[in-house]
Amino acid sequence: MDLGLGGRGYLLTGASRGLGLATARALVDDGARVLVSSRSQSSVEAAVASLGGAPAAHGHAADLAEPAAATDLVAAAGSRLDRLDGALVSVGGPAPGSVLEVAEESWRAAVDSVLLGTIRLVKALVPVLGEGAAIGLVLSSSVRQPIGHLAISNGLRPGLAMTAKALADELGPRGIRVFGLLPGTIATDRITEIEAASGDAAAMRARTEAGIPLRRVGRPEEFGRVAAFALSPAASYLTGVMLPVDGGALRAL
């Protein structure tokens, strides 16, 4: 299938590694151009190099918790890519902990980055996007069921999912699509770190896989291909939906 990505331009945040980088790779491999962003300049430079550099890949370091970052990032994407056809918005995972354990300042910091950072970026994007554009939010399976010891994610991700649904209504008449992606356990560096911190990485991996119908964790490139399809013109009638990419782990409809 031709996804129709040739020559199109996409902005990806939180994309110096993991799911964002895998999506950037899928987009570039199919002929799109990308601007990848994360907070670390060195990580952004390494990601751009791994994608082959210009003209296919560009980078710009930004922290979405900073109020001015969104407009700067969109301006950089427009300048480097010449055109902007959509974005994949991913913000780093908030601090772990239970509802009663997590300090209020951690909640406030997460609201600034995860919630307000995403909303600021979408507001900055909308004026420069035209008909056929798409905005994808990388959320979590916590949109549909809570994840142990991740109280902040459990609190904020469902709110962003409803925000995406509302945006699909608001932007649909302009031909702009909005959707959410709900990754399950994908073998990223973050998951490897969590497994190692458990004290028995192999046992934790085995427990996780036992709860997944496909009996394995996902690979980043599997997520990346789904995200690239959802952003592409091939998915032109897909909007307002939350797409699990989790090997069947979520049992809810």
Confidence of residue 96 (pLDDT cuts 50, 70, 90): confident
Amino acid at site 134:
A
Confidence of residue 93 (pLDDT cuts 50, 70, 90): confident
User: At 18, phi and psi to the nearest 5?
Assistant: 65, -140
Mean pLDDT of 74-81: 96
Q: What pLDDT digit, counting tens, does each position of 18-27 carry?
A: 999 999 999 9
Kindly state the percentage of the chain with pLDDT values over 90: 86
- Residue 206: the pLDDT is 92
122 pLDDT above the threshold of 90: yes
Mean pLDDT of 119-133: 97
Domains in the chain with CATH codes: 9-188+220-245 (3.40.50.720)
Question: 1-15, 75-89, 178-192: which has the minimum mean pLDDT?
Answer: 178-192
- Residue 149: the pLDDT is 86
Q: What pLDDT digit, counting tens, does each position of 178-208 carry?
A: 999 999 999 888 788 878 877 898 999 999 9
Shortest CA distance to 24 belongs to which of 77, 95, 94? 77
CB atoms under 10 Å from CB of 127, counted, come to 7
215 pLDDT above the threshold of 90: yes
- Residue 230: the pLDDT is 98
232 pLDDT above the threshold of 80: yes
- Residue 252: the pLDDT is 84
- Residue 47: the pLDDT is 97
Prediction pTM value: 0.95
